[in-house]
Amino acid sequence: FGGDGGTYDIGFQSLSGAMERGHDIVYICYDNGAYMNTGIQRSSATPQFADTTTSPAGSVIPGKIQWRKDLTAIMAAHNVPYVAQVAPSHFNDLITKVQKAIAVDGPAFINAMAPCPRGWRYDTREGIEMTRLAVETCYWPLYEVEDGQWKLTYKPREKKPLTEWIKKQGRFRHLFTDENKELLEQFQQRVDEEWEKLLRRCGEM
């Protein structure tokens, strides 16, 4: 188990090595999108435009400039037996994938969205709702890659606009201003593009 900082960044070298060597392990990443327990610094998992202590939204930059690293796809590129992305809001999907990961012979990787009320700046009671909206807006799609076969495990009946997720988070408050309207549109466009790319990979288009 590791956070996104220790998985996407600091520990990526050893994680990649373990996957490539084929060790029989299950690695689960708790992805809350920043180095939350050391001061809310940006990591490569931090969403674009998120306000953190090292990517502060202001007159110089509008939050983190770069798009988040797609670590789940990077792990799939290691050609390991099982890779999946999960969210606690969809717990049946999560449980099924963990069972699959444990059962495979060889390395398995699971990327789990883990909301952080302090870093995301939302009402603590809405933690599960935060992950549900991330899935329903397709910012955090649920899928698995089993022996190289990509499969979408949940497809929203009606894809919600990204604003439904980010409007509840203080780290994106600066995007809801007239001067940052284009950034909000850019954010939505990138989410749409990544979703369509995933649909093609999974044979859904």
Span 8-29, pLDDT tens digits: 999 999 999 999 999 999 999 9
DSSP letter (8 states) at residue 92 = H
Going from the C-alpha of 37 to that of each of 116, 124, 127, the distances in angstroms are 10, 16, 17
Rg for the chain (alpha carbons), in Å? 17
Over residues 97-117, mean pLDDT: 98
Percent above pLDDT 70 for the chain = 100
Cβ count within 10 A of residue 124: 9
- Residues 131-190 have pLDDT tens digits of 999 999 999 999 999 999 999 999 999 999 999 999 999 999 999 999 999 999 999 999
Q: Residue 205: what pLDDT?
A: 78
Task: Please name the residues in contact with 165: beta carbons below 8 A apart, sequence gap of 6 or more.
Answer: 130, 133, 134, 136, 137, 139
Q: Is the pLDDT of residue 99 over 90?
A: yes
Over residues 47-76, mean pLDDT: 97
Q: Is the pLDDT of residue 33 over 90?
A: yes
Indicate the pTM of the whole model.
Answer: 0.96
Determine the Cα–Cα distance for residues 167 and 189; give it in Å rounded to an integer. Answer: 17
Smallest CA-to-CA distance from 29 within 97, 90, 114, 146 is with 114
Residue with tokens 């954010």: 187
Q: Is the pLDDT of residue 32 over 90?
A: yes
